[in-house]
Chain A
Amino acid sequence: MNRCAVIGVGQTRYTTKRRDVSIAGLVREAALRALEDAGLTFKDIDAVVVGKAPDLFEGVMMPESYLADALGAAGKPVTRVHTAGSVGGSTALVGASLIQGGVHDRVLVVAFEKQSESNATWALSTHLPFSASLVVGAGGYFAPHIREYMRRSGAPAHIGTLVAVKDRLNALKNPYAHLRIPGIDQAMVESTPMLWEPIRYLETCPSSDGACALVLASEDKVTGTPAWVHGAAMRSEPIFRAGRDTVSPQAGKDCAADVYRQAGVCDPRRDIDVAEVYVPFSWYEPMWLENLGFAAEGEGWKLTESGATALDGDIPWNASGGVLSSNPIGASGLIRFAEAALQVRGMAGEHQVDGARLALGHAYGGGAQFFAMWIVGRERP
């Protein structure tokens, strides 16, 4: 398998409404920034991989065809990736596989969402005839699983608010972050209403417009500062399966085990320096801490409570502010992968974790049934 490196990262400033650009203009902004970071132009790119959430969100069918011009892809292979909320991560992994498999030398990976013109909750709640589904958007789906986590682990009720505060404090250090809430604290989070109890308003992610892009290169085509891919894995499982553990899905455990094995990670908390993990509802931090093996079952909330996952903790999670601070859905997974790369390249700016050498990027989607992860490192694997 050929080595693959991230040599360029480009992000737009995530915000509620980008009224000044079309979807094409939005993705191009991220793509040009990634190319500039790599010191390259569209001419240097062999293939383009595009990811976004379901087409029904913006109602643009097969957006990759429409976006080919904006991404300089005329005459090049263009691939669309679609794995629900995990799509940003899967898009990076498809791009990396094109390099690792020796198909291409330089691949542009782009993911986006224009949530201001996306009818996401409607698109997630298309009520089919004969059924009587009562799920109102993503929050309505995930709330019962959070409740079950709280019951099983005995976690105190304030753990969710700790993550909601921690990630928003980190966002204040990230110039691309959407939510910047000066003076954010536990009392402010607790003062916001329950939307889908036990999920409060400020324990949910925002709706953002934005795009993220990466330039991936094979070993002899590396320009600039590389973040090397040490492991890459995807897993999925059926949403309706008897005995499925919706709190800590098997697919997540298997995906983590695979990516750790590839990267030589034995103890993720010790061996990984920083993690960008898909946490759209604050309670998913302790839940994923356990699912990803950073803490034993039932102990994830204790790690959060101890401050270990804060920017100055021993295993910072979501130094960028995470999905809780910026959520252009289709891009949210790719942003995790991009931020992991920025950390090991030493280019994360004010939210840089000192001396980060190995970083985890993580995304999940659907009913917590699709998982995508990579581990990137400062050194060549």
Chain B
Amino acid sequence: MPSDPLVARHVLEFPGGYTRTTGPVIGRFLTELRARRLVGVRTAEGRVLVPPLEYDPATGDPVTGEYVEVGPAGTVTASAWVREPRAAHPLDRPFAWALIRLDGADTALVHAVDAGDPRAVPPGTRVWPVWKDAPTGQITDIAYFAPEVTKIVSPVRAEYRLRAGGALRVFLEGVARGVFLGGRCARCDQVYVPYRTSCPECGGRIGEPVELPGTGVITTFAINNLPDPRAPEVPFVSAYVLLDGADIPMIALIGDVPAHEVRQGMRVRAVWVPEEERTPSMANVRWFAPTGEPDMELS
């Protein structure tokens, strides 16, 4: 079709636009609007027309000279949702054309409501004008109306500098070498891993770190069907792994086995990331994988 020589575009647009003399009533409304005030005009019968008209549509009589400040808020009486705004529309995103009865007015004016969602503008919705930066005395001095403010976003941020010290540093230096370091309580003889310097049970002092093997047993576990950034897939198994020689389990990811084949009592071993990828972090342990040994009896 575009190639059809008998089809042509024809635009009717008077250069610079038409002028309009407002007359005293509409002129007052637009002058007030430029000053960011909304006024209506009272009819002989006492009704307040917003936007004002020069002649009362109910009687044909001229309106009175009484101007009444209305709004700025109003109530939506009806609306139509515009899913795909056009170039000349006041908003470049989906919006509602709405009939808005400003507080103190007896009639509704038409304007745009920026509501985000058609369900957000039922009749009865309270809306407030959002003004253009530099008003000139046009209805578009009101950029659009918007629902009342009911929610704000409050950014909260705390930034810390964490330094692994003391026992944690010792443990992580072990992890960087590919070994788990624990410690035995001198008083109650329990072996804690990760390494720590005092016993949470009795407060006793824990001596030099001891190396624990990378093997152990799954005491219990969950099959997680919600994703986690550290887990390769869903479902994934998070398990309590009691390392051989330790008296307290660690929580760890289980891999190299389908989730529903994991068992309580299953023997597992740590799978470390290749040496060149290691850092002093538990991320060195990719996961624990079954060793293939027979399950252990749990008490």
Contact = CB atoms under 8 A, between A and B. Distances in A.
Contact of B282 (A59, A132, A198): A132
Contacts of A59: 154, 156
Interface in A139-191: 140, 143-145, 147-148, 151
17 contacts: A131-B281, A134-B230, A140-B226, A144-B220, A144-B222, A144-B239, A145-B220, A147-B220, A148-B219, A148-B220, A194-B223, A196-B222, A197-B224, A197-B235, A240-B248, A241-B201, A242-B248
A151 B225 contact: no
Contact of A132 (B156, B220, B222, B281): B281
Contacts of A243: 190, 201, 247
Contact of A148 (B162, B230, B264): B264
A195 B252 contact: no
Given A132-B230, A197-B224, 18 more contacts: A61-B156, A130-B168, A132-B282, A132-B285, A134-B251, A135-B251, A136-B226, A144-B220, A147-B222, A151-B264, A194-B225, A195-B225, A197-B225, A197-B235, A198-B222, A199-B222, A240-B248, A243-B247
Contact of B226 (A148, A196, A198, A244): A196
A75 interface: no
B214 interface: no
Contacts of A241: 200-201, 248
B231 interface: yes
Nearest to B185: A242
A251 to B, nearest CB: 13
Nearest to B162: A129
Interface in B97-131: none
A374 B248 CA distance: 32
A77 interface: no
Interface residues of B, number: 42
A130 B172 contact: yes
B200 A135 contact: no
Which of A132, A151, A199: most chain B CB closer than 10 A?
Answer: A132
A185 B191 CA distance: 47
A238 interface: yes
A25 to B, nearest CB: 12
Contacts of B230: 132, 134
Contacts of A129: 162, 164, 281
A101 interface: no
Interface residues of A, number: 33
A247 B170 CA distance: 31
Contact of A134 (B162, B220, B253): B253
Contacts of A43: none
A1 interface: no
B238 interface: yes
Contacts of B191: 242
B221 A144 contact: yes
A270 interface: no
Given A151-B298, A196-B223, A238-B200, A132 B228 contact: no
B59 interface: no
Interface in B213-258: 219-226, 228, 230-231, 235-236, 238-240, 247-248, 251-253
A132 B235 contact: no
A220 B188 CA distance: 51
B150 interface: yes
B192 A144 contact: no
Nearest to A197: B223
Nearest to B240: A144
Given A140-B238, A240-B248, A242-B192, A147 B226 contact: no
A140 B192 CA distance: 23
Contacts of A136: 224, 226, 228, 238
A144 B219 CA distance: 9
A128 interface: yes
B228 A134 contact: yes
B10 interface: no
A196 B225 contact: yes
Contacts of A131: 281-282
A130 B150 CA distance: 40
A378 B268 CA distance: 55
A135 B220 contact: no
A194 B235 CA distance: 10
Nearest to B218: A144
A138 to B, nearest CB: 12
A130 B168 CA distance: 9
A134 B225 contact: no
A193 B188 CA distance: 44
